[in-house]
Structure 1
């Protein structure tokens, strides 16, 4: 049955999937038949179209909704269009009256988020404090360099599910060995895939601890030792429950149940919102960027490390 035909004569958004939001004729037919432009099961049509649809569909819906700036999970449709780099949809929303500077997402309005991505939604309503701070601008600029470096090296070597990583600011491999009471391992233990063996690599700004097969870098006891007088961001690509991230500073938890590289949620910290936008679907890069590491290639993430270390793993579980 074609999507244009609504089963049983009911009127709504039944069986409209993400791929249909680019079909202007279909969406207009649904609207003319009485579908509510403001709401649908599980969300709002304008938000779905901003993320998945065409500029024509976005403009159609924007002209019919009660409030073009209404928030869903703390975000406007314009915010979603910017976050997912649908700049054609963002322009359509701005032309329909959406406010790029409406406060949301821990200070990241659509306009400020666009600036971090190198795009400008400035207009007559642009407030005087819209510009990025020096620190925010530096993080955004570094992401351009960092992603270019990683694009050259990732290819098919990105860590697979089950891998773990910790990015530690301001320490080197020698200090990691001291802090963890670790022992360098001769040869390549990769085939053994032992939980107590991790890789360590010096990078500008700090050190990366990696384990292609396990979660050891994210063990709380390991992170406490690594984060003494500094900060440590750990990631585990959990094959059962998805990516897990956590931050410790000087042995104390700053944030724990994070989803680095994933779509940010309402009330998430401002730095996490920014890094999620700058490094989508790249949790390892988020961890390194948060710790201020300036990798010059992808080897610290994809391997092989500078050195393999054996940890007294049971000491960290007490």
Structure 2
């Protein structure tokens, strides 16, 4: 048994070599391929040792090669080790992307020698540039427990009008911000912040999921597009899509990796915004915030939603 290459002691090439020499199977560990795991969690030396032992360095797991996993995880040293072992950077994978072409959109476009005729399209290059700008502008901040709705094409005032919301009292807001969980959820859930940003607006709630409720998204998305996010502290980021008043997608996983049936655009977005659910939500709706204030606060205004059933639209 190879052990868990996610643990630091298991990334040591000598330890992996010893286990392989003792009869560990380089092709399978606990139902998965060790080379794929090492590409994400291991050291370049561990990757090289495993790559030397497998029958096919481009063997697939869940439709992708170990090299794809290394590029997707932004482990350039591991990707180079795999390429040196014979892995093909230009083998088409999810959404038609190859690991090499995907790397052109990331922080290490020089990762592999690029064959003639291989390049990003203008729209792909623009998407990569905007992703870099957006993730840099937002920076890092704590948002567990936050709900938000990114609405394209409307400002904060229009969002308030669509939601039929009313200004919230300043004293209530001060108390809520000091200890939101001291309030009954029936009361605090109806208070949201609204902020205009380039491209649209953000409706946010630092303590709950209200902006992502179907009835909120449906009203905000009339004639436009919305992406809802709830950073559930228990189960992770949950996403929803609403277009022109209709919920098109729910129980999504913004900031996660691409799926096998994703389109080329979806694969690129998943790569560009991996582990950054807020930026993904903003980009999906076409928002271009210049800082994190729309999510991290303070918003342009605090408002109170009318009491109604927001789960049946």
TM-score normalised over the length of structure 2: 0.89
Q: CA deviation at 1:77?
A: 0.7
| Alpha-carbon distance in 1 for matches of 2:94, 2:249 | 17
Q: Name 1:39's counterpart in structure 2.
A: 28
> SS at the partner of 1:137?
helix
Q: Name 2:43's counterpart in structure 1.
A: 54
When the two structures are aligned, how many residues end up with a matched partner?
300
1:158 maps onto 2:147 in alignment: no
> SS at the partner of 1:116?
coil
Kept after mapping to 1: 8 A contact 2:106/2:128: yes
Taking only aligned residues, the RMSD between alpha carbons, in angstroms, comes to: 2.0
Kept after mapping to 2: 8 A contact 1:219/1:316: yes
Deviates more, 1:20-29 or 1:163-172: 20-29
Q: CA deviation at 1:16?
A: 5.7
Change (3 A) 1:251 1:101: farther
> SS at the partner of 2:170?
coil
Q: Name 1:288's counterpart in structure 2.
A: 282
Structure 2: which 5+ runs fail to align? 181-187
1:167 maps onto 2:161 in alignment: no
Q: CA deviation at 1:269?
A: 4.1
> SS at the partner of 2:226?
strand
Change (3 A) 1:285 1:34: same
| Alpha-carbon distance in 1 for matches of 2:11, 2:33 | 15
Kept after mapping to 2: 8 A contact 1:101/1:127: no
1:82 maps onto 2:66 in alignment: no
Q: Name 1:304's counterpart in structure 2.
A: 298
Kept after mapping to 1: 8 A contact 2:5/2:41: no
Change (3 A) 1:21 1:133: farther
Q: CA deviation at 1:20?
A: 3.3
Q: CA deviation at 1:251?
A: 2.0
Q: CA deviation at 1:315?
A: 4.5
| Alpha-carbon distance in 2 for matches of 1:313, 1:13 | 57
> SS at the partner of 2:308?
helix
Q: Name 2:134's counterpart in structure 1.
A: 146
1:120 maps onto 2:110 in alignment: yes
| Alpha-carbon distance in 2 for matches of 1:298, 1:317 | 28
| Alpha-carbon distance in 2 for matches of 1:15, 1:315 | 48
Matches within 5 A, 1:187-206: 187=170, 189=173, 191-192=175-176, 193=180, 194-206=188-200
Matches within 5 A, 1:1-318: 12-14=1-3, 17-118=6-107, 119-123=109-113, 126=115, 128=117, 130-151=118-139, 154=140, 157-160=141-144, 162-187=145-170, 189=173, 191-192=175-176, 193=180, 194-318=188-312
| Alpha-carbon distance in 2 for matches of 1:138, 1:112 | 15
Structure 1: which 5+ runs fail to align? 1-11
Kept after mapping to 2: 8 A contact 1:236/1:243: yes
Q: CA deviation at 1:14?
A: 4.3
1:146-187 Cα distance to aligned partner (Å, 9 max, x none): 222222xx4xx4223x21011111100111112111112231
Kept after mapping to 2: 8 A contact 1:20/1:53: no
Deviates more, 1:109-118 or 1:249-258: 249-258
Q: CA deviation at 1:75?
A: 2.0
| Alpha-carbon distance in 2 for matches of 1:317, 1:57 | 50
| Alpha-carbon distance in 2 for matches of 1:16, 1:239 | 27
| Alpha-carbon distance in 1 for matches of 2:56, 2:10 | 19
